[in-house]
Structure 1
Amino acid sequence: MRLLPFQVPVGIILLSLAAFPISYGVNSVLSLSDPTAIALTGVAVLLGMFATTYLQSQGKPPQDPLFYVFAVFAFTSMVDLIIWLEQDGYISGFMEFYMREGEPYLRTSYGIMICLWDGTTHYLLYLAMLGAIHQRKSYRSLGLYWLGSLMMSLIVFLPGNVIGKFGTEIRPSFLLNIPYVLLPVWAGMRIFREPRSIVYTPAEKAVDEHRKSLLQRPQDLVLFVYLLVTIAFTLFRGLVVLDCPSDSCFNYVYQYEPYLKDPVAYPKVQMLVYMFYALPLFCLCLYGLVQPGCTWMLDWTLVLAGALAQAQFSHVGASLHRRTPYTYRIPTDTWWLFLVSNALYALGPHLLAYRCLRSPGFFTSTAPAVQDNDKKQK
């Protein structure tokens, strides 16, 4: 099977789709009511998937150990897709026991949205990266985008579970999220160490790009202005969830985005993550658009794009979902402004990452090339 430019092993796809019969069988055969037993069942299933993946790939062992991680995560993505299908009423009888005594906070609108994102976007990314590893090709760009997306979901979802209204319903199955914290950190370290696969820029052209000011680069100027507006919007929404007493904050939360006051706490944590993590990165990107040779822009813009895509999809989707109480949904007379502003908030980082990858000359270092030219002239 082909996905993007990569050929994905059929066995891995079938293994991930096994989530449907496995979850249906467990839900039908076992009537689990003990939260500890449910957590142990989840651990047993994950270990079984890892062992099956390992045995299945022994004919042609992958050189990258992340192959096994992505294969198991692809299986759990299908589990999340099942949760979304069941919670939105498309299927039934698959994950009822787990939603009741395992992780009940997944029944919230935000929980449903992150399950949908994991079961679609993350699943496709896993298959693409598995195909790249199978063909021994680079998946660095996909990996950085996935890393930003997954880490953003974790740093919002896990604290939101604890401090929100479901904080008293934390069960042992909550510990099943630990691999999703540790393994992505390890995977990110490996991905960052991989060599970049970018468009080659001749040294002379890179030097010419470095000499151009921001006004001589119209695309970068537009991105610079976008980042300034994004920084202001990020700071403003952070102040809103921190209960800023100004009239503008009060009017915004009640007229445009009442979801920020939902007691589930996910939107509040999301805005604080934006303010304390995304905002500094936005400021660094401003610097990277002005100062030539910031090679880190080639990587971190991809991480930022993945993080904003996941965050905005989940936030906007939860704001409009029927599981959100009516008083916290977006008002019908301002929903278009809400959608446009949040869509632009997610689109900008993608345009910035695309600009860095397609024309990286301004962000590459030219020091070695300049030194070599000086030596030749001498």
Structure 2
Amino acid sequence: MELSPLAPRIAALSLGAIPVSYALNHVSVLSHPLGVVLASILILALLLVAIHSLSHGEISYDPLYAVFSVFAFTSVVDLLLSLQEDGYVAGLMEFYTKEGEPYLRTAHGIFICYWDGTVHYLLYLAMAGAIHKRKRYRNLGLYWLGSFIMSVLVFFPGNILGKYSSEIRPAFVLIIPYMLVLCWASMRVFNQSRAPTCCPPTMVQEEQKKGLLQRPADLALVLYLILAGLFTLFRGLVVLDCPTDACFVYIYQYEPYLRDPVAYPKVQMLVYTFYMLPFFGLAAYALVVPGCSWLPDWALVFAGAIGQAQFSHMGASLHPRTPFTYRVPDDAWACFFGCNLLYALGPHLLAYRCLRQPAFFLHPPPPGTLAPDKKRQ
């Protein structure tokens, strides 16, 4: 989607996070955890005032414009944090990782910040640009929602259950407004009207008459969903300490990161088991039975979710911040990378297929709709 003329203005405003972070890093009061929380709230309030004064018309048209603008600012902060932890920059975010959220120093924390500072940042600019041009951004919003929800579902329970649970600071309470905004944004994005489809009733009827064997791409996707579902169940059993030899070999020779006491990989596999596994089954059903109009939307949501999750999981499995014992062994690197990359790629191919050729998933045309066309013939 083309960025609007206002998107660069939002980008410029978000880049203000760089001097702000540098200045706050040298304020002595931020050496106290409560000072970090108060400073964060003050900055967000001032940022909202600035956004409202610059973009009152856009906010009146769609209040999510303000949300995307604020989140673009926090995305730049997250990118600075990850670059600092990897040693590319210095003197910007030490105060926050020390007194605000020390669990962001973990490999998982670093990679969710990379994702937020790149993929989410571009999505915020694109969606804000769409609002300025009064265009739809529902598909982008659904992908962002899936990605954002997955990040929250894994990161915050992992903070409570993992080895960093004793280092939770007052900044952790900022999750409450995040969750409230997420619920509100979800409802607004889903309630947006869908883009009109260019599928005439005759095309819908012809597509829905085809069996699975006549749709080789769908057949390949169904086979993928079955295999991905089995892989999801297997890794769920692995983190639940299944005593079988296969689980023991896998966790020690292929993905030892699943044993890391930070708890993020365990929570990630359980989220996969309880959410991705049912979706794989339902999606396979929707590729066989025509008229499942819910699949295109939810395929986008789950594509965003698994994209964020696999990026963080794969990156953390290989990152030097992860103890050597829990990193992927050199002789298993190709197998680990190949399986996890395919696991991430499949839902994106499914979403692309649903958006590219949606006729199979549309509601069947009502009886009598095709009668006039037949008479003309």
- Counterpart residue type for residue 21 of structure 1: P
Contact 1:6–1:135 under 8 Å retained in 2: no
2:3 is the alignment partner of 1:6: yes
- Ranges in structure 2 where 5+ consecutive residues have no aligned partner: none
1:97 aligned partner, one-letter code: F
Report the AA paired with residue 313 of structure 2. H
Letter in 2 for 1:138: R
Amino acid at match of 1:247: D
**1 CA distance for matches of 2:119 and 2:196?**
23
Which residue in 2 is equivalent to 1:256? 254
Mark the CA change 1:334 to 1:49 in structure 2 (over 3 Å): closer, same or farther: same
Deviation (angstroms), 1:82: 0.7
**For the residues of structure 1 that align with 2:92 and 2:126, how far apart are their CA atoms?**
27
> 1:154-185 deviations in whole A, cap 9, x for unaligned?
00000000000001111110112222212122
Match of 2:369 among 351, 368, 372: 372
2:40 corresponds to: 42
Quick one: distance in 2 between partners of 1:27 and 1:271? Answer: 36
Shift of 1:215: 0.8
* Among 95, 98, 102, the residue aligned to 1:97: 95
CA distance in 1, matches of 2:373, 2:266: 59
Whether contact under 8 Å (2:29, 2:35) holds in the other structure is no
Query: Which residue of structure 2 lines up, in the alignment, with residue 83 of structure 1?
Result: 81
Summarize deviations over 1:305-357 as a string: whole Å, max 9, x none.
00010000000000000000000000000101100000000000000000000
Q: Whole-Å Cα distance in 2 between the matches of residues 71 and 299 of structure 1? A: 24
Residue identity opposite 1:6 in structure 2: L
Distance 2:9 2:211 in 1: 52
The AA in structure 1 aligned to 2:119 is: T
Which of the numbers 104, 107, 116 marks the counterpart of 2:105?
A: 107
Partner residue of 2:233?
A: 235
1:84 touches 1:115 (CA, 8 Å); kept in 2? yes
Pairwise mapping of residues 96-245 of structure 1 onto structure 2 (< 5 A)? 96-197=94-195, 199-245=197-243
- The 1-side partners of 2:368 and 2:90 are apart by 67
Q: Deviations over 1:134-155 (max 9, x none)?
A: 1111101000000000000000
Find the counterpart in structure 2 of residue 15 from structure 1. 13
Which whole-Å deviations, capped at 9, do the CAs of 1:50-84 have from their partners, x for residues lacking one? 11101111366550110000000000000000101
1:62 touches 1:134 (CA, 8 Å); kept in 2? no
Q: 1:56 aligns with which of 39, 47, 54?
A: 54
- Matched residue, 1:27: 25
2 CA distance for matches of 1:302 and 1:371? 33
Give the letter aligned to residue 5 of structure 1: E
**8 Å CA contact 1:8, 1:127 repeated in 2:** no
Indicate the RMSD between aligned Cα atoms, in angstroms.
1.6
| Change in CA separation of 1:126 and 1:277 when aligned onto 2, cut-off 3 Å | same
CA distance in 1, matches of 2:300, 2:227: 20
Give how far 1:208 is off: 0.8
Counterpart CA distance in 2 for 1:172 and 1:61 is 31
Instruction: State how far apart, in whole Å, the 2-side matches of 1:61 and 1:254 are.
Output: 52
**Residue of structure 2 aligned with 1:324, choices 322, 325, 336:** 322
Deviation of 1:244 (Å): 0.1
Question: 1:309-348, aligned counterparts within 5 Å?
Answer: 309-348=307-346
Closer, same or farther: CA 269–59 of 1 in aligned 2, 3 Å: closer
| Alpha-carbon offset, residue 367 of structure 1 | 3.6
- AA aligned opposite 2:189: I
**What TM-score, normalized by structure 2, do the two folds share?**
0.96
Q: Is the Cα contact below 8 Å between 1:31 and 1:97 reproduced in 2?
A: no
CA distance in 1, matches of 2:95, 2:129: 34
SS at match of 1:322: coil
Q: What is the total number of aligned residue pairs between the two structures?
A: 374
Q: Aligned to 2:289, which of 285, 288, 291?
A: 291
- Asked whether the equivalents of residues 159 and 269 of structure 1 are also in contact (C-alpha less than 8 Å), the reply is yes
Q: Tell me by how many angstroms 1:373 deviates.
A: 4.0
CA distance in 1, matches of 2:116, 2:218: 32
CA shift for structure 1 position 30: 3.3
Deviation of residue 191 (structure 1)?
A: 1.0
1:180 and 1:250 map into 2 onto residues whose CA distance is: 38
Q: CA deviation at 1:374?
A: 6.1
Distance verdict in 2 for CA 1:118–1:60, change over 3 Å: closer
**Cα 1:256–1:228, aligned 2, differ >3 Å: closer, same or farther?**
same
Asked whether the equivalents of residues 201 and 370 of structure 2 are also in contact (C-alpha less than 8 Å), the reply is: no
Q: Once the two structures are superposed, what CA deviation does each residue of 1:72-110 show, in whole Å capped at 9, x if it has no partner?
A: 000000000010111000111111111111100000000
**Residue 241 of structure 1: CA displacement?**
0.1
Residue 32 of structure 1 aligns to a residue whose secondary structure is helix
Tell me the TM-score normalised to structure 1 length: 0.96
Please give the alpha-carbon distance, in whole angstroms, between the structure 1 residues aligned to 2:5 and 2:285: 39
Q: Which amino acid is the alignment partner of residue 115 of structure 1? A: C
Distance 2:59 2:101 in 1: 35
